[in-house]
Structure 1
Amino acid sequence: MTIKSAKNFEEIVMYLSVLRYIFKSRSKRGLYDLNKQAEPFFKNLFNLIYSWDLMDLNEIQNNYPAIDLGDKKEGVCVQITAERGSPKIRRTIKKYNEKMLYKEYGRLVFFILTDKKAYSSEFDTKNKFEFSKERDIWDIDDVLEVVENADFDTIESVHSFLKKELSSIVRLLADKGSLLSQIEDINGIQPKNSLGFLRHLEFDADELEQGHTEVLNLYNKINALSIRSREYLYVLLTRAHTESVFGGDRFYALPADIESYAGLSRDEAVEECQILEANNLVYFENEDYPPRIEIFRPMDVGIDMFVMLKEYLDEDSFKSLIIKCDFSSLDG
């Protein structure tokens, strides 16, 4: 995998992780009405990844029985569901057989919007078609595994699609009034070489390329956030405490101390923490209400990028880097 493909794949993981967070959050509250809204998105995504020509069967017939997407030429169909239990799979297979859909679609795939289980049950197809719980029950991790091993063009196509479509699908799926429902498309300024910053860190000539790649990775993660998420990250960083870990400094913050400062309710603060954690920008253990958040971005040379950025930049430039995602101040 080339450096560019590796960078794009990392962003693909981030984009799909945001979607999985939404699916899991709503499913925990018993909201399983996500599949209809998600069908067009995953139809296009699967067509890109697998070179299929899936059609949304519910556009052909309202409440199409048993399955949601189908490609007659390839003989494959997909059921998209937020329910991951074995009873759901059994009911679908039963309906699939009753409607004799196996005559048009020899392969039935279940795509679980949350996380699939380690299924111990066997699923009886009455010998009408072949079905393997290992091969034919997918979740986002299975899709990511295929993308990771795909060719350059496929990774590029998937990355471009997600970058273009993420905001609209997140706004559609997220709870009305939630922070994710307010996600915006705000593009920053990418660093050209990061030389000013890297020379400040006394990087050797043979370390500059890797250092710039790490800066670009951080840029891409922050650039994918909504403005509100960036603002929350900025508040965390400016109100953070410093501790020494393994010979270097690292930031940590106490959410209870900054809720009022950030102007967020507790639920909003927790949601923002979860968004940042899904993007590997912060780390915490208690998902319900983290008492402590660690904010760090380790570099290969063993230092923390957030700490070094705050040291290198003046207050206005640091604020612009985080909130406006303007990384041009790092160039030399």
Structure 2
Amino acid sequence: MNRSPYFNYIEEKLNLLAVRIEKRGKLNILDLHLHSENFYLHFFNKLFGWSLENLNAIQQNVEAIDLIDHTKKFIFQVSSTNTKAKIESALDKDILKQYPGYGFKFISISKDATDLRTKTYNNPHNLTFSPSSDIFDTSSLLNYILSLDAVKQKDIYQFIQQELGNEVDIVKLDSNLAAIINILSKEDWNDLSQLNQINSFEIERKVSFNNLVRAKYIIDDYKIHYGRIDSKYSEFDSFGKNKSNAVLSSIRKEYIQQKGVISDDDLFFAVIDKVIQKIQQSANYVEIPIDELELSVNVLVVDAFIRCKIFENPENYNYATP
């Protein structure tokens, strides 16, 4: 499997697109400032080498058919509704009589479709349709992309960057904090093979200088991941200038807002809580279990502490390995 930086970007954008559509409650890409059917048309053509056309561009509001490939002879429905009834309703439309010998494919663009791939369907017009391979969702697409080599992933990345790169990020509640958490949620924190040496004595000195007693346990647990976060920030910055700086600045802002109101251990844990709240309120946050979110935020806040972004530094503080 090839989890390249290109794949991480593709994963973030497709998951974010799915979340946006689901929050809207129905498919309306124009309201999202995206070209819905046209995006998936070009995306699938590039990904699979198909020759899809947008039938609605020729004949408006065609029932059951959004996209069609006359070369490979299949029709495609793009939907934010992922129910068996939705698929059977499409398969039942009389217009399908005009396409004898064609196949049928379906993509759920906002929700998981794993369960749909296990069901059987009424198919009165006898279109070629295999649910296990002809029903797509974001997860199945990402699994396919993950199997591609880095060259092909880069090609898909460049396409998605051109189509969605900036437009997906214009909603007010999007945040780089949520974007980095989406990346960190894939990490195996039990893997200690990527650890870098840091100056533990200096970090202990900063802990004591700021009267951190309870927070010391969190810092000791997660300071070992400093090198991995540094690597992830470098990867993150490949998608745009100042992204890692924006994350660190956001954490520092929460620290500054609480500083003077509370102090010491309470201040440290308040920063963690505020960062979690901001992530959960971000439109681009892909939800994970709360304990996994807390773990990733703990790692980020401890990293910010080490990097001098939060709390006061003792004289001549230097966290780098001597």
Match of 1:103 in 2: 100
1:148-187 aligned at under 5 Å gives the runs 148-167=146-165, 169-170=167-168, 178-180=172-174
1:226-237 aligned at under 5 Å gives the runs 232=250, 234-236=252-254
Match of 1:253 in 2: 272
In the alignment, the residues of structure 2 paired with residue 216 and residue 258 of structure 1 have an alpha-carbon distance, to the nearest angstrom, of 22
1:312 pairs, out of 307, 310, 313, with: 307
In the alignment, the residues of structure 2 paired with residue 75 and residue 224 of structure 1 have an alpha-carbon distance, to the nearest angstrom, of 46
In the alignment, the residues of structure 2 paired with residue 166 and residue 233 of structure 1 have an alpha-carbon distance, to the nearest angstrom, of 27
Match of 2:50 in 1: 52
In the alignment, the residues of structure 2 paired with residue 305 and residue 222 of structure 1 have an alpha-carbon distance, to the nearest angstrom, of 19
- Consecutive unaligned residues of structure 2, counting only runs of 5 or more, are 177-195, 201-224, 311-319
Note the alpha carbon deviations across 1:203-234, whole angstroms, 9 max, x for none.
xxxx9997764342343578697999886555
Residue type of the alignment partner of 1:254: D
Note the alpha carbon deviations across 1:242-297, whole angstroms, 9 max, x for none.
98xxxxx9986334x998xxxxxxxx88532x53x4298xx737xxxxxx973736
Residue type of the alignment partner of 1:253: I
**How far does residue 100 in structure 1 lie from its aligned partner after superposition?**
2.0
Residue type of the alignment partner of 1:18: L
In the alignment, the residues of structure 2 paired with residue 224 and residue 19 of structure 1 have an alpha-carbon distance, to the nearest angstrom, of 23
In the alignment, the residues of structure 1 paired with residue 61 and residue 50 of structure 2 have an alpha-carbon distance, to the nearest angstrom, of 22
Note the alpha carbon deviations across 1:85-144, whole angstroms, 9 max, x for none.
11111111011x54324337x221111112225136421223622212221111111111
Tell me the secondary structure at the aligned position of residue 154 of structure 2.
helix
C-alpha contact 1:109 1:137 (8 A) present in aligned 2: yes
1:185-196 aligned at under 5 Å gives the runs none
* Cα gap change, 1:293 to 1:75, in 2 (>3 Å): closer
TM-score w.r.t. length of structure 1: 0.61
1:26-105 aligned at under 5 Å gives the runs 26-27=24-25, 31-34=26-29, 37-95=35-93, 98-103=95-100
In the alignment, the residues of structure 2 paired with residue 230 and residue 17 of structure 1 have an alpha-carbon distance, to the nearest angstrom, of 24
- Report % sequence identity: 17
> What is the root-mean-square deviation in Å for CA atoms of aligned residues?
4.6
* Cα gap change, 1:163 to 1:199, in 2 (>3 Å): farther
C-alpha contact 2:233 2:244 (8 A) present in aligned 1: no
In the alignment, the residues of structure 1 paired with residue 286 and residue 239 of structure 2 have an alpha-carbon distance, to the nearest angstrom, of 11
Is the radius of gyration larger for structure 1 or structure 2? 2
Match of 1:278 in 2: 286
In the alignment, the residues of structure 2 paired with residue 250 and residue 101 of structure 1 have an alpha-carbon distance, to the nearest angstrom, of 64
Match of 1:322 in 2: none
C-alpha contact 1:70 1:77 (8 A) present in aligned 2: yes
Residue type of the alignment partner of 1:271: Q
In the alignment, the residues of structure 1 paired with residue 294 and residue 255 of structure 2 have an alpha-carbon distance, to the nearest angstrom, of 10
Q: How many residues align?
A: 259
* Cα gap change, 1:70 to 1:33, in 2 (>3 Å): same
Residue type of the alignment partner of 2:290: F
Note the alpha carbon deviations across 1:68-91, whole angstroms, 9 max, x for none.
112211223211011111111111
In the alignment, the residues of structure 1 paired with residue 7 and residue 20 of structure 2 have an alpha-carbon distance, to the nearest angstrom, of 20
* Cα gap change, 1:138 to 1:223, in 2 (>3 Å): farther
TM-score w.r.t. length of structure 2: 0.62
Tell me the secondary structure at the aligned position of residue 278 of structure 1.
coil
Deviates more, 1:223-232 or 1:129-138: 223-232
* Cα gap change, 1:215 to 1:59, in 2 (>3 Å): same
In the alignment, the residues of structure 2 paired with residue 235 and residue 167 of structure 1 have an alpha-carbon distance, to the nearest angstrom, of 26
2:108 pairs, out of 105, 108, 112, with: 112
C-alpha contact 2:229 2:303 (8 A) present in aligned 1: no
C-alpha contact 2:96 2:125 (8 A) present in aligned 1: no
* Cα gap change, 1:230 to 1:113, in 2 (>3 Å): farther
* Cα gap change, 1:151 to 1:128, in 2 (>3 Å): same
Tell me the secondary structure at the aligned position of residue 42 of structure 1.
helix
In the alignment, the residues of structure 2 paired with residue 232 and residue 40 of structure 1 have an alpha-carbon distance, to the nearest angstrom, of 36
Residue type of the alignment partner of 1:308: D
In the alignment, the residues of structure 1 paired with residue 15 and residue 252 of structure 2 have an alpha-carbon distance, to the nearest angstrom, of 22
Higher RCO (CA 8 Å, separation ≥ 6 residues)? 2
In the alignment, the residues of structure 2 paired with residue 161 and residue 92 of structure 1 have an alpha-carbon distance, to the nearest angstrom, of 30
Residue type of the alignment partner of 2:100: K
